[in-house]
Amino acid sequence: MRPTPRTTMTLSHPLLRDFRQADAARVSALALAAFDEFKSNYTDWPALAAILGDISGLIENGEIVVAEIQDQIIGAVAYIPPGRPKASYFQKEWPVIRMLVVDTSCRGHGVGRELTRECLARARRDRSPVVALHTSTIMTVALPMYLRMGFEWAHDAPPVFGVPYAVYLKRLDATS
């Protein structure tokens, strides 16, 4: 059997907007679909799936940004501002990028980069000299993107259901 050719999708710049409660089901489904390819790497996929299914819960301590094209949500990310509660492997004063997810059919078109740039803009708005995130080497699309954008490894983080993770930082200036 020959692989099915991937349809080339033409995406203009997606509209980025703040999350609305009506987006919760779509954002959660998007997160589950985005992580589905990694489920065999995690020792307790049902537990992680429950967390992913409640991605909108991140709004309690932060801001969720969605990317949409023609009223269809194709990506989302959470931005946790400085001083808000976050995992102990992040310094409290760091803003943090969490749970960047992009519809699998839209990958490779810059949606993740645009969502990350929006988080960087919010970190600048909050006058932070850095922004942090944590990711894993199994994230073979996201991690290289973050590295190209100037994030650097800071330290290892505790594994997530058996998958190794690390914290990455990006120093901010007026142009980065």
Q: What is the pLDDT of residues 9-51, one digit of tens each?
A: 345 578 999 999 999 999 999 999 999 999 999 999 999 999 9
Averaged pLDDT score across all residues of the chain? 90
Q: Tell me the mean pLDDT in the region 110-128.
A: 96
Which pTM value belongs to this model?
0.89
What six digits make up the tokens of 128?
A: 């932070």
3-state helix, strand, coil in the chain (%, to 5): 35, 30, 35
pLDDT of residue 158: 96
What is the C-alpha to C-alpha distance for residues 149 and 39, in angstroms, rounded to an integer?
Answer: 26
Q: Which domains are seen in the chain, by residue range? A: 15-171 (3.40.630.30)
Q: Tell me the mean pLDDT in the region 123-144.
A: 96
What is the C-alpha to C-alpha distance for residues 144 and 140, in angstroms, rounded to an integer?
Answer: 7
Q: Is 34 exposed, middle or buried (0-12, 13-18, 19+ CB in 10 A)?
A: buried
pLDDT of residue 7: 37
Over 70: is that where the pLDDT of 98 sits?
yes
Over 90: is that where the pLDDT of 144 sits?
yes
Over 60: is that where the pLDDT of 1 sits?
no
Over 60: is that where the pLDDT of 171 sits?
yes
Over 90: is that where the pLDDT of 138 sits?
yes
